[in-house]
Amino acid sequence: MMAQLQQGGPDEKEKTTALKDLLSRIDLDELMKKDEPPLEFPDTLEGFEYIFNEKGQLRHIKTGEPFVFNYREDLHRWNQKRYEALGEIITKYIYELLQNECHLKKVTLPVDAIETEPKSFFFMSEDALVNPDKLLVLIHGNGVVRAGQWARRLIINEDLDSGTQIPYIKRAIEEGYGVIVLNPNENYIEVEKTKAQIQLSSDISDEPAEKRERKDKIQKETKKRRDFYEKYRNPQKEKETMQIYIRMIQREAEVKNRVTAVALTDSVHNVWHQEVGKTIREWMRENCCNWVSSSEPLDTSVESMLPDCPRVSAGTERHELTSWKSFPSVFKFFSEAIKAKNSLVKPTPTRRSNRIKYEEF
């Protein structure tokens, strides 16, 4: 009796056998097709039935309601893919605003790229490289955001003013700045791996053949179980891709000599982890200020254990809102830095020296 209880009695075995028989007759592929719709989405805002209204808010064309993430209940992955597809459309929409509304031009990088080479781009005003007074360079954070954006979440759920760099660009132009909008997250392209590349990546190993065979056997068993589960969780398996990086360069000395002030908004940088030298840390303390998420009023000093640069409150505890909330203070900071720099005694530049300076830039 004890043995039967531990192993399961006759009734339990019959139930198990019946369950296995039922599962064997279920067409898993057909079941999954019913569970998750195809990952095919519109490629325009209108196709999604959304539009930005006169206040820069994303609203449904028919109902006027804000964007709904949970468009289909209990299908989180499908909803997430839909959100990402909308985000890609919004990225292109912001690029159009930078060119048509802010009158910036698109510049391809590297400037000497050959036809088949991966390329990126940024945006700048017509006077960006020849403005004799001042230049504003805008750099977004990491993640999915691209040139002209602070936070995709704000663009979709709040408005264009809080989520994009457009207010910064317009004010900068009004105050006589040249403007450059960088695009550092667009630093590689993704291409689909060929079957040969997928096989090569799995074959490369310095391990002894016997050890590799044992490991392969274990991995195949693990993969078999994982694939069975993945077929249920992720029936529409996505293609395997690889990243090809775009050529980039660094010019520390030139940046330090030419940059008057740097405003950071809740930056997550760490000077110790990034192997920053003493001279850069000193330069940051003198020329940078970080508006961090905090419950304190705007511009209130915030203590930090890292001696990289002064930190003040952005007037909000929401990380994604720090760029928008600190907007007036950032321009005040820049204005004061420019005045301080111009107050220093300098030789009067000649027409020839000015020309050389612009050409070097």
pLDDT greater than 80 at residue 70:
yes
Beta-strand relationship, 105-109 and 120-124: antiparallel
Label residue 336 by pLDDT band (50, 70, 90): very high
Q: Rounded to the nearest 5°, which phi and psi values hold at 51?
A: -155, 155
* Dist. CA 41–CA 85, nearest whole Å: 7
Q: E strand or H helix at 52, and its extent?
A: strand 50-52
Q: How many CB atoms lie within 10 A of CB 249?
A: 5
Q: What is the CA radius of gyration of the chain?
A: 28
Number of H helices, E strands in the chain: 14, 11
Which tokens sit at 253? 């000395």
* Dist. CA 314–CA 81, nearest whole Å: 32
**pLDDT tens figures, 102-150:** 999 999 988 888 888 888 999 999 999 999 999 999 999 988 999 999 9
Whether the model pTM is above 0.85: no
* Dist. CA 13–CA 7, nearest whole Å: 9
Label residue 218 by pLDDT band (50, 70, 90): confident
pLDDT greater than 60 at residue 33:
no
Label residue 4 by pLDDT band (50, 70, 90): very low
**pLDDT tens figures, 289-332:** 999 999 999 999 998 877 788 999 999 999 999 999 999 999 99
Which tokens sit at 42? 């519109």
Q: E strand or H helix at 34, and its extent?
A: helix 28-35
pLDDT greater than 80 at residue 163:
yes
Label residue 269 by pLDDT band (50, 70, 90): confident
59: region left, alpha or beta (phi > 0 left; psi from -120 to 50 alpha): beta
Highest mean pLDDT among 168-172, 194-198, 281-285, 334-338: 168-172
Which tokens sit at 232? 């249920």
Q: Rounded to the nearest 5°, which phi and psi values hold at 192?
A: -75, 135
Torsion sign across C-alpha atoms 111, 115, 117, 119: positive
> Counting beta carbons within 10 angstroms of the beta carbon of residue 246, is it exposed (0 to 12), middle (13 to 18) or buried (19 or more)?
middle
Beta-strand relationship, 120-124 and 178-181: antiparallel
Mean of all residue pLDDT scores within the chain: 81
- Residue whose C-alpha is closest to residue 44's, from 4, 81, 79, 91: 91
CB of 181 closer than 8 Å to CB of 122: yes
pLDDT greater than 80 at residue 2:
no
57-66, 82-91, 262-271: which range is least confident on average? 262-271
| Residue 278 confidence (pLDDT) | 78
* Dist. CA 79–CA 65, nearest whole Å: 17
How many Cα atoms sit within 13 Å of 156 on the Cβ side? Answer: 19
Torsion sign across C-alpha atoms 165, 341, 178, 147: negative
* Helix, strand, coil tally for the chain in percent (to 5): 45, 15, 45
CB of 261 closer than 8 Å to CB of 287: yes
What type of residue is 338?
A: I
User: Cα angle at 159 between 74 and 61, to 5 degrees?
Assistant: 65
